[in-house]
């Protein structure tokens, strides 16, 4: 396979990002293993305290980021939960606070995850005025049958209006999430969902296989035999066909589950996969600073009240294991040089393994410029485990 020379080659940027976790949802979905709390349609009475605590934590974490004033932050991501449950005035104030305390690049990517029900022209205008320039909407499916199976709160009248609101918004960089492998879902139904999203002009699309995550309500019901497991046969077929299907629509697979128009991949999420530093703010959030990795309590009250995990507790990261497990999820060309320098004693063994995989047609390697063949997505986990195996 020849390298896709038209694609940018990924390198370390040494530009940190910020992730902010907003924990509240209208309803906790049975398949979701992210920390979230279903609280109904009304705003949470804890919201004001939560945003105040965000500011407090930012200042606390920066004490463990000694050279942050010399660095340029270029991504901010509000995830959840359902961040769009909060008023855009909260984001106006918080983004202003961040820009007063950190160096943000003028072209920073500032993303907010939304539920379809919250996406209205007025709300999008408020987000735009706050400084948010990218939104991602959790569509998952347009079929009520699938949404009911997923235990999602939804208003079927909202979905079409959501896409129309996005198309007319000043926020031009927008994307959507879809799920495939829902029991009973056909390939035809999935591709109808995909085409509906694509027709709205999205620049990014995340397509996730339904999985049985330990500790979720869905997992318990599958184990008890009261709910069907995901349709693995259809999942494998869709996973295999997606790169060509979305490629024909002008989308590039840049990570296992993520596709974008050229140059519009999620800059923030890329930081997780390329071993960059990022502040993780909010209950249930994880972060990575020079002091190490950390996680916050998965309890909003404990987070706000300062109880739970010790905020000064940081764990040493293992660059070898972490880089292999995350970096090799990427399907764009990658310059491995800066990454291999984290473990120079293992560099030649990794390059040797990659050369062998090249002869097997699984990837390409030109010096230190590496890229997976798209077909490798079907057995990527085993290939990554092979790279991480230090005994072979």
CATH code of the domain containing 230: 3.30.750.200
pLDDT at 4 over 80: no
Q: What is the CATH number of the domain that holds 344?
A: 1.10.10
Work out the number of other CB atoms within 10 angstroms of the CB of residue 56: 13
**pLDDT tens, 287-334?**
999 999 999 999 999 999 987 677 778 999 899 999 999 999 999 999
334 and 259 share a domain? no
Nearest to 98 by CA among 137, 135, 68: 68
> Average pLDDT, whole number, for the chain?
91
383 contact partners, CB below 8 Å, separation of at least 6: 328, 357, 362, 376
Q: Scan for tokens 């390939």, then name that residue.
A: 187
Q: Looking at per-residue confidence, does 161 or 191 come out higher? A: 191
377 domain residue, yes or no: yes
Two tokens at 321?
Answer: 């294991």
Q: How far apart are CA 291 and CA 298, in angstroms?
A: 21
Burial class (CB in 10 A: 0-12, 13-18, 19+), 168: exposed
**Helix, strand or coil, per DSSP, at residue 204:** strand
Query: For residues 118 and 157, is the Cβ–Cβ distance under 8 A?
Result: no
Q: Which of 237, 272, 307 is the last residue of a domain?
A: 272
Q: Report pLDDT for 229.
A: 84
Residues 124 and 171 sit within 8 Å (Cβ to Cβ)? yes
Confidence category of residue 226, pLDDT binned at 50, 70, 90: confident
Res 390 pLDDT > 70: no
pLDDT of 134 above 80: yes
- In the chain, the percentage of residues whose pLDDT exceeds 90 is 74
Task: Judge if 165 and 244 occupy the same domain.
Answer: yes
| Residue range of the domain that includes 371 | 319-392
| CA distances from residue 48 to 56, 79, 86, 279 in whole angstroms, order as listed | 13, 17, 10, 21
Q: Does residue 126 lie within any of the structural domains? A: yes
- Counting the structural domains of the chain, the total is 2
DSSP class of 250: T
For residue 280, the surrounding DSSP H or E stretch is: strand 278-281
**Residue 373 resides in a domain:** yes
From 362, 323, 365, 363, select the one nearest 340 (Cα to Cα): 323
Question: 23 and 109 share a domain?
Answer: yes
Q: Does some domain include residue 314?
A: no
Q: Using 50, 70 and 90 to split pLDDT, how confident is the model at 30?
A: low
For the residues 273-289, what does the mean pLDDT come to? 96
Judge if 267 and 333 occupy the same domain.
no
The secondary structure of 163-177 as a DSSP string is HHHHHHSS--EEEEE
Task: Judge if 86 and 227 occupy the same domain.
Answer: yes
Same domain flag for 258 and 323? no
Q: What is the rounded CA–CA span in Å between residue 301 and residue 117?
A: 26
- Among the three residues 272, 301, 327, which one is the final residue of a domain in this structure? 272
The count of residues in the chain is: 392
Mean pLDDT of 252-270: 95
Q: Is the pLDDT of residue 17 over 50?
A: yes
Report d(CA 329, CA 315) in Å as an integer. 23
Question: pLDDT > 70: what percent of the chain?
Answer: 96
Q: Which residues pair with 176 in a beta bridge?
A: 137, 205
- Asked whether residue 160 carries a pLDDT value surpassing 90, the answer given is no
Taking the model in full, what pTM does it have? 0.93
């Amino acid at each position: 396979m020849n390298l896709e020379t038209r694609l940018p080659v990924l390198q370390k940027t040494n530009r940190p990002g910020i992730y902010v976790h907003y924990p509240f949802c209208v309803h906790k979905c049975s398949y979701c293993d992210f920390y979230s709390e279903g609280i109904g349609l009304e705003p949470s009475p804890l919201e004001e305290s939560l945003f105040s605590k965000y500011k407090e934590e930012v200042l606390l974490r920066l004490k463990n980021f000694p050279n942050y004033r010399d660095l340029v932050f270029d991504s901010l991501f509000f995830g959840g939960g359902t961040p769009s449950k909060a008023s855009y005035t909260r984001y106006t104030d918080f983004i202003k606070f961040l820009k007063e305390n950190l160096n943000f690049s003028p072209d920073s990517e500032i993303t907010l995850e939304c539920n379809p029900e919250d996406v209205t022209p007025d709300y999008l205008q408020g987000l735009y005025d706050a400084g948010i320039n990218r939104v991602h909407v959790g569509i998952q499916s347009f079929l009520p049958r699938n949404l009911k199976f997923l235990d999602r709160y939804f208003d079927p009248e909202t979905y079409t209006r959501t896409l129309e609101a996005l198309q007319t918004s000043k926020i031009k960089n927008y994307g959507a999430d879809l799920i495939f492998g829902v029991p009973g879902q056909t390939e035809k139904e999935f591709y109808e969902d995909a085409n509906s999203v694509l027709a709205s002009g999205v620049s990014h699309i995340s397509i996730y296989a339904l999985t049985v995550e330990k500790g979720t309500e869905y997992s318990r019901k599958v184990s008890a035999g009261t709910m069907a497991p995901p349709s693995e046969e259809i999942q494998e077929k869709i996973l295999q066909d997606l790169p060509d299907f979305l490629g024909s629509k002008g989308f590039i697979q840049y990570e296992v589950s993520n596709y974008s128009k050229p140059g519009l991949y999620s800059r923030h999420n890329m930081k997780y996969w390329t071993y960059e530093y990022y502040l993780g703010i909010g209950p249930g959030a994880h972060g990575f600073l020079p002091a190490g990795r950390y996680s916050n309590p998965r309890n909003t009250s404990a987070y706000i009240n300062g109880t739970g995990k010790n905020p000064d507790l940081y764990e040493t990261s293992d660059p070898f294991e972490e880089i292999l497990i995350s970096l090799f999820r990427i399907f764009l060309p990658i310059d491995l040089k800066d990454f291999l320098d984290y473990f120079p004693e293992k560099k030649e063994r990794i390059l040797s393994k990659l050369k062998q995989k090249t002869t097997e047609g699984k990837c390409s390697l030109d010096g230190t410029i590496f890229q997976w063949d798209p077909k490798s997505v079907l057995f990527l986990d085993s290939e990554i485990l092979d790279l991480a195996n230090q005994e072979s």
